[in-house]
Each structure stands twice: as structure tokens, then as C-alpha cells.
Amino acid sequence: MADQEELTEGARFASSVPARHEPFPLKGCGALDWGMQSRLARIFQPESRRTVMLAIDHGYFQGPTTGLERVDLSIVPLLLYADALMTTRGMVRSTIPPAARVPIVLRASGGPSVLRELSDERLAVSMEDAARLNASAVAVQVFIGGEFETQSVRNMTRLVDAGQRYGIPVLAVTAVGKELTRDARYLRLATRICAELGAHLVKTYYCAEDFDTVTAACPVPVVMAGGKKLLELDALTMAYRAVEEGAAGVDMGRNIFQSDDPVAMVRAVSAVVHESVKPQAAYDQFLRR
């Protein structure tokens, strides 16, 4: 039984000290509900305010991608080094160890395979199931300029409405069709539309010119998409430039899991993203693995 006197009276009111309130210091997230901020704080490291998200969701439209044939063997050993894992609910339930402490960014749209028109996606996961899986965020593809542009935007806005109810942030992934140019003008348009319509964070490609205007014009965090496999030094250089030009980290897949040494590569990317290590130094670190 607790001592009643100690319970009823306390002296540590610190009346002269203003009450502390510290929103998670991430771009655009200060007005979000506590649950949203808490989930974002799992994905983004508080010190750097950046993330290294490992994307392995490719199978949702293209099947067993090179490097992802056996996620249990190739990806599970990487989980220690990633800040978040972008994947599907099928892969989470079948393969990702529940004890892995990596936050899950759950792919929540899908439908067409690589054999069909990719922009014809629908929502593919309910927010209730995302909550059941303890997802830290959900991800939806948005095809600005694509054949099913409006439908994909509608997928995103419905997901944002559900995310608001459950306190689960929505990552809008700006998909670039074969016919669209990945220049700053297009990427500004796509990322800004996603943010204006409620996405809590946006994934987009890097462009060599004026990428800083893409991140500046987007009021929520932008994470850089990896894209096709590059030489390691080139991938590290792209990641370095992206964060120097305002990205809040990266969401990379093939450039990590298709590397000759995925553990060394994810660690090198992490050094670039979180410690601003220069690309050549990070590459030297990669070679010394």
C-alpha cells in the first residue's frame, strides 16, 4: 500500500518553469496528432531528422525481383541497419520477424502487374489492418500525369482520411511513367500535389538540376527514391546530393539489396544520410567492408 501522505502532497511543481512541449522536429509535422508524430519519430532519427528506408515492396507488381527472391535470406539480415522497411503485408506476415524492431512502412496500393497499365491501382490494405500490423506509415502510389491520375490521387486522399482517423501517416510515392520526364518541374508538381492533398511525407526521384526547389516547395518531408541499380559510388553520390539539397533521407531498394555487399551498402548510405559523410569517404568505407 502506497504512503497516502506522499500521494496527496508534492513539492516539485517548479512553478517558475514553463511547461515543456516538444513536437517532433520534422518538417511540416508540428500540427499532427501525437500518434502521427510518434510514428514519424520511429521512421526518422530525431538527431538527423532523416531516414534510411529500405524499399523491398517491388513484388507487389513485378513478382520476385532480383535480390528479393528470398527475403528471409537477403533482407532480414539488413534490418538492423535500416531505419524503416517499406514492404507489403504479405511479406510482413510471412517473413519479417515480429521481434525485428524496424518500423514498417506498409505498401497499401496495388492491382495491376507489370503486364498491364500500372497507374490503374486501387487501395489494397485497410487502415485497420495497417494498425493491426503495427505499421508506422502506409504507402500509396500517385501517378501524376498518368492514365489513371485522378483515381490514384483519390486512392491517396482516401488513405489520408483513414490515416487521420487512426494516427497513421501516409507516404505518397510519386510514380513516373515511361513517357514522363523526371525533371524538377515535374517533380515539383507531383510532390506538391501530394502534400497539398494531405500526404504526410512524399517519396520522389532525384533530379540533377534544381532538386532543391523540389524539396523547398514541398511542405512535408521528401525522401529520395533509389531507382535502378547504379554503381555504388554513383548511388552514394546521388543520396548525398539529395540530402544536401533538402531531402529528409532516402527510400532505396535495388541500390542496396542488389549491391555486391548489401550490409556494407546500407551502412554506407546511412553514413551519408545521417552523418553527411562525403560520397567518396562512404564508398571507401563500403570497400573496406
Note the residues at the interface with ligand R5P (CB under 6 A).
55, 57-58, 86, 141, 173, 175, 225-227, 252-255
C-beta of 40 vs 225, nearer to ligand R5P:
225
**Which amino acid is residue 62, in one-letter code?**
Q
C-beta of 189 vs 230, nearer to ligand R5P:
230
C-beta of 32 vs 130, nearer to ligand R5P:
130
Is the distance from CB of 130 to CB of 160 less than 8 angstroms?
no
Tell me the backbone φ, ψ of residue 179, rounded to 5 degrees: -85, -5
Count CB neighbours of 170 within 10 A. Answer: 30
C-beta of 135 vs 175, nearer to ligand R5P:
175
Strands (DSSP E) contained in 8-97 are: 51-55, 84-87
**Is 203 a residue of the active site?**
yes
Catalytic residue among 203, 228, 229, 278: 203
> Residue 243: CB partners within 8 Å, gap ≥ 6?
50, 224, 249, 250, 272, 273, 276
C-beta of 255 vs 259, nearer to ligand R5P:
255
Length of the chain: 289
Least separation, in Å, of the C-beta of 58 and ligand R5P?
4
Is the distance from CB of 221 to CB of 250 less than 8 angstroms?
no
Least separation, in Å, of the C-beta of 203 and ligand R5P?
7
Measured N-to-C along each axis, helices 232-244 and 279-287 cross at an angle, to the nearest 10 degrees, of 140
Three cell numbers, residue 5: 501522505
Least separation, in Å, of the C-beta of 148 and ligand R5P?
15
Least separation, in Å, of the C-beta of 132 and ligand R5P?
22
Least separation, in Å, of the C-beta of 174 and ligand R5P?
9
Q: Using CB atoms, what's the residue nearest to ligand R5P?
A: 226
Is the distance from CB of 85 to CB of 52 less than 8 angstroms?
no
**Which positions are annotated as active-site residues?**
203
